[in-house]
Every structure is written in C-alpha cells, then in structure tokens.
Amino acid sequence: MSFGGGPSWPGEPGPGSENQPPYGQQQAQQPHGQQQYGQQYGARSGDQHGHGYGQSYGQSYGQEYGQGYGRQPGAPSPVPYQEPYGQPSDLFPSAAETPDWTALADASAARKRRRRLLVTGAAALATAVVGTAIAVAVVSSGEGGAATAAPRDSTAPELPGGASGEPQPTFSSVAPPPPPDPMDYISDPAKDTAPLTAESLFPGKQLTIGEHAYTRGATAATADCAAAGQGGLAGVLARHGCDRMVRATFERDGVAVTVGIAVFDSPEAAQKVKKEAVGGVTTLAGAGVDPFCQARTVCLRRANAVGRYAYFTQAGFTSGKRVTTADRKVFAGSDDLGTFAFDRIHARGREQASAAAGG
C-alpha cells in the first residue's frame, strides 16, 4: 500500500543532513513505501522484538521520512531544523533502553513460584491448625470427663500403679530359661527317677501302629538281666552293668515279637551293648501267645540304644516256621515294635522334663 501525494511532515535528522526544508515545502513526489523503506522494513521484520527492532525502526524511520517528504534531495534549507518534540530518543528508544525480555520472563516465573509456595504453605498451615484444633478438642473432652469424677484428696499419697491405681505391667529383660530337654532325663540316673515297670513302658492291651494292630501278651520285669538274654546276649548285659530288663510280647496274624528294654548307668554303656550285642532277648510266651523262636528256629533279632537305654526285638512265627528275607510281615513287626520301644523311652524322658518344668 502506498500514498501518491499529500502533506509533507517534518523529517528527523539523518546522516549527512543537518537542515531540513520548512514546513509545507514539497519535493518531487516519492510515494510512501518506496524501495528504500520497503527494503529496510523487510530487513527489520525478520528481527526479533527488542534490540534490533527498536534501533532499526527508530533510526531508519526518521531518515526516510525526513528525506522522502518536503524537500528535494541535496537542496539547502534556509531555516535550521529544530526538533519539535525533543530528541529522537524521546520518541523511539535506543538499543540500550530496550526492555530485557529474558529478565522480565524470569521475574514473572519467580513471581509464579512465590505464589505457588505461598499457596502450598497456606494449605499446610491450615491442615496443621485443623489437626491442632482436633487434638485440643480431644484433650479437652478427656479433661471434662475427668472433672466429673470425685475429687481426689490432695493429701493422699501417690499410688504406685499411676493415677488410676491399677498396677502397670512390667517386663523382664532376662530371657526365660529354655525348657528341659527330655534327653537329659533319659541319660542321667540322677534325673531319671520315675518307676520303670512293664505297665509304664507298655501300657494297654492293644497296640496300633499305622495299619497294623497288635495284641499284647505276657510281660516281665527283672533285675537279673542275664536271665533275659540268650545266645551270648546274657554275657554282654552283665559285662556292662545292666540294672533292669523289662519285656513284653505282641502278636499279629501268627507273627509274635518280644520287646526287651534294658537300663544302664550311662549312655556310653548302652551304646557298647548295642555294638557288642550277639544272640537275642529271651522271648515270652503265654497270655494267648504260643511259644516261638525256640531252639533250632531262625528268627529276626535286632538291637539299638537311646540315652542310657538299650532295646531289643526278636520276631518270628508262632508256628515255628523259619524266617527268611521274603517274610515281610516279620520284618514289619520288628520295625513297628522297635519304633514303639524308642517312643516309649523318649516319652519317659519327656514326662519327667515336663514335671520338672511345672507343666
């Protein structure tokens, strides 16, 4: 867009021109928006706002309008030019006076951060005030309830249990002693003082172990341990100081097993008998069980030990049949009654340990 003519305006001083034509003098028509202005304006339009725009616009605008209106280029001016409104810097700021947009943006961001901190702090303060008010209300409620109670005599001594007079719980920092070990009682003659009888070791007439049900036959208890051993076991028992032998026989489907439990003064003596055992415990017949494992009959014999006790089993057929490795029922009977003897010895120690602990 351009203008072909019209009034001329006083131009601003430009480089190399100190005098301007008087107000109203015209020059050859040079339309507004000529090539010089268009070029400079186009160059200025690519600059960013701030330093480039203010400086270029302030200087070139006055030069173009001073040269483009009211006088011919190079014509002398009879009247010195006077700035009607002060210096050009009053109308168009120089580069030094251009605002620092980066600093202004930083300041705005800082103000926003301060506002966020103020809002957050106010919310936290409000939360704390509400919590304090609730706590004060709860304490006040408790004090109100205490005020309705009967007043306490100020001269009365303080109760050891606190204001309520109720004893307060106390806790000891010393760990309680461990419970007694049953093995200690079946290993030490000084602790193992419970009666040792057939009924205490083999109670009841029926015995069920897993799926196997046995009937108890004859029982016996004696201090003459050698009389309860055969085939060399009698000498072993006597040599290591057997104090007592308790026996019982159990029968299931034609298979009978005699269990013998011998007690010694120490676990070491019982272990030696276990290692040196030869022969077997003498079987018991009667009380519904026929004699078994007699002379010239092969039976299954075993020996073991726990604590100061050694225990033995001898199993065979009541029919007098010789036992072979294929007779699984005889092996099962020996396993069942050996496990039962171990459990009964250990139960003896457990019962005495429980009694010592007061349980």
293: left (phi > 0), else alpha (psi -120 to 50), else beta? left
Pairwise CA distance, residues 41 & 224, whole Å = 134
DSSP tag of 15: T
Which of 264, 294, 280, 267 has its CA nearest to residue 338? 280
pLDDT of residue 188: 96
Tokens representing 67 are: 């040269």
The Cα 327–Cα 333 span in angstroms is: 10
Residue with tokens 């173009």: 64
The contacts of residue 9 (CB under 8 Å, 6+ apart) are 65, 69, 70
In the numeric block, the tokens 């009977």 are attached to 333
219 shares a domain with 325: yes
Which of 103, 119, 135 terminates a domain? The answer is 119
Q: Please tell me whether residues 109 and 195 are part of one structural domain.
A: no
Question: Which structural domain range is residue 113 located in?
Answer: 1-119
Q: Is the pLDDT of residue 106 over 60?
A: yes
Clarify whether residues 82 and 217 are in a common domain.
Answer: no
Residues 235, 226: Cα–Cα separation, whole Å = 7
By C-alpha distance, which of 342, 312, 125, 145 is closest to 229?
A: 312
| Residue 176 covered by a domain | no
- Comparing 153 with 305, the larger pLDDT belongs to 305
Same domain flag for 3 and 103: yes
**pLDDT tens figures, 1-16:** 434 444 444 444 444 4
Q: Is residue 266 part of a domain?
A: yes
Q: How far apart (Å, rounded) are the C-alpha atoms in residues 199 and 339?
A: 18
- Whether 77 and 194 share a structural domain: no
Residue 311 and residue 194 in one domain: yes
Give the end of a domain, one of 104, 119, 134: 119
pLDDT at 121 over 50: yes
Residue 280 resides in a domain? yes
Residue 303 sits in the same domain as residue 204: yes
**Residue at 301 is within a domain:** yes
Identify which of 276, 275, 283, 273 has the alpha carbon closest to the alpha carbon of residue 323: 283
How much is the pLDDT for 97?
54
pLDDT over threshold 70, residue 38: no
How many whole angstroms separate alpha carbon 109 and alpha carbon 113?
A: 6
Domain presence at residue 154: no
Average pLDDT over residues 332-341: 97
Which one of 88, 103, 119 terminates a domain? 119
Residue 17 lies in a domain: yes
Q: Using alpha carbons only, give the angle 62, 67, 36 rounded to the nearest 5 degrees.
A: 80
210 and 97 together in one domain: no
Give Cβ neighbours of residue 203 (< 8 Å, ≥ 6 apart): none
Sort strands 280-281 and 229-230 into parallel, antiparallel or unpaired: antiparallel
Question: Structural domain tally of the chain?
Answer: 2
Work out the pLDDT band at 129, boundaries 50, 70, 90.
low
Q: Is there a contact between 227 and 237 (Cβ–Cβ < 8 Å)?
A: no
Residues contacting residue 11 through CB under 8 Å, at least 6 positions apart? 20, 62, 63, 65, 66, 67, 68, 69, 70, 71, 81
Paired tokens of 276: 């040196």
Q: Mean pLDDT: which of 52-56, 72-76, 331-335 is highest? A: 331-335
What's the token pair of residue 285?
Answer: 């017949």
Residues 102 and 212 grouped into a single domain: no
Evaluate whether residue 348 is within a structural domain: yes
- Evaluate whether 254 touches 296 at the Cβ level (below 8 Å): no
Q: Give the span between the Cα atoms of 271 and 308, in whole angstroms.
A: 8
111 or 171, greater pLDDT: 111
Contact by Cβ (8 Å): 231, 296 = no
In a domain, 201, yes or no: yes
Kindly report, residue by residue over 278-296, the tens digit of the pLDDT: 999 999 999 999 999 987 8
Q: What is the DSSP letter of 6?
A: -
Give the whole-angstrom CA distance, residue 139 versus residue 170. 27
Q: What is the pLDDT of residue 140?
A: 55
The reply to whether 94 and 234 lie within a common domain is: no
Q: What pLDDT does residue 108 have?
A: 77
Phi-psi region at 16: left, alpha or beta (left = phi > 0; alpha = psi -120 to 50): left
- Total-model pTM: 0.53
On the question of pLDDT at 326 being above 50, the answer is yes
Task: Output the average pLDDT for the chain.
Answer: 74
Residue 164 has pLDDT above 50, yes or no: yes
